[in-house]
Amino acid sequence: MDHPLQTSGPVGEVTPDPVTLGIDIGGSHIKAALVAPDGALLTNYERVVTPLGKPPDLIVDTISALIAPLGGFDRVSVGFPGATRGVTVLTAPNLGNDQWHGYKLADRLAARLARPVRLANDATVQGLGAIAGRGLECTITLGTGMGFALFTDGRPAPHLELGQHNAHRKHTYDQYVGHEALNRDGARKWNKHVLRTIDALRVLVNFDLLYIGGGNVTAITFALPADVHLVSNETGITGGVRLWDGVSPRRA
């Protein structure tokens, strides 16, 4: 699969079985694990509370400390909760800090970890770990906010910050089906909001399959339509392997 992604850091000789460090940056937690080339987890998650509102360099420090127990790896994939382009963060609506705008996260991590790094939106990474790769597929993540990604025959479409788009009255989708809405409105009303969101996406996207991930999927109580599937949080880590399709850097 062809990815319009840039790689930060050293890329050495090809190795047949590269180990990927998958990092999932969320509005509540940062998670990391090592992943085999086939997408299988090689380690348990390491997890830490996200230092919201702190400078981006502190996130890099936090990740560096978090992954220390995991062992060696060849390359790094990062899922980020906002819009990214190449090595750079464009928006970080749920991390509480405007300093993220224009921050070259992939470059900073590559310099710190001495490994090549690829960066993408977290819903895109989760989708890559879940999709079948056929037809028009869509992923949403239900966590602090709502992430969104769209795929055509396995290839990511240009990223859309649907979570920041108006959903109902003056509420964005982040505010309509995000974690604060679940706490504010209760599970019953929140589930109705999620159902309405699925209906809206069906009209907007005409998806063949929709995958729902994120930490709040456990709060879903309605019967799922045949073309909607829940996916585990693991895909937010394991999908990072597919950012490297066709690229196999050597372990330093």
User: Under a CB-based contact definition with an 8 Å cutoff, are residues 197 and 167 in contact?
Assistant: yes
| Residue (of 141, 137, 152, 154) closest to 209 by Cα position | 137
**107 and 197: one domain?**
no
- The pLDDT tens digits for 51-88 are 999 999 999 999 999 999 999 999 999 999 999 999 99
**165 and 110: one domain?**
no
Is 242 contained in some domain?
no
**149 and 113: one domain?**
no
- The pLDDT tens digits for 190-205 are 999 999 999 999 999 9
* pLDDT band (50, 70, 90) for residue 98: confident
pLDDT in the model for residue 4: 56
Cα 65 to Cα 78: distance, rounded to the nearest angstrom: 16
Check pLDDT > 90 for residue 9: no
Check pLDDT > 70 for residue 247: no
pLDDT in the model for residue 22: 98
Least confident span in 9-23, 32-46, 74-88, 99-113: 9-23
**26 and 82: one domain?**
yes
Check pLDDT > 80 for residue 34: yes
Domain end: 90, 122, 154, which one? 122
pLDDT in the model for residue 54: 92
The count of structural domains within the chain is 2
- The pLDDT tens digits for 23-33 are 999 999 999 99
Q: Which residues contact 8 (CB under 8 A, 6 or more apart)?
A: 87, 104, 106, 107, 109, 110, 116, 117, 118, 119
Is this structure's pTM higher than 0.85? yes
Check pLDDT > 80 for residue 1: no
Cα 169 to Cα 3: distance, rounded to the nearest angstrom: 36
Q: What are phi and psi of 24, to 5 degrees?
A: -120, 105
* pLDDT band (50, 70, 90) for residue 7: confident
Cα 214 to Cα 142: distance, rounded to the nearest angstrom: 5
- The pLDDT tens digits for 116-126 are 999 999 999 99
Task: Give DSSP secondary structure letters for the chain.
Answer: -------BS---S--SSPPEEEEEE-SSEEEEEEE-TTS-BSS--EEEE--TTS-HHHHHHHHHHHTGGG---SEEEEEESS-EETTEE---TTTT-GGGTT--HHHHHHHHHTS-EEEEEHHHHHHHTT--SSSEEEEEEESSSEEEEEEETTEEPPP--GGGSEEETTEEHHHHHSHHHHHHH-HHHHHHHHHHHHHHHHHHH--SEEEEESGGGGG--SPPPTTEEE--TTHHHHGGGGGGTT--PPP-
- The pLDDT tens digits for 161-183 are 999 999 998 999 999 999 999 99
The boundaries of the domain holding residue 179 are 131-230
Give the mean pLDDT of 85-95: 93
CATH number of the domain within which 43 lies: 3.30.420.40
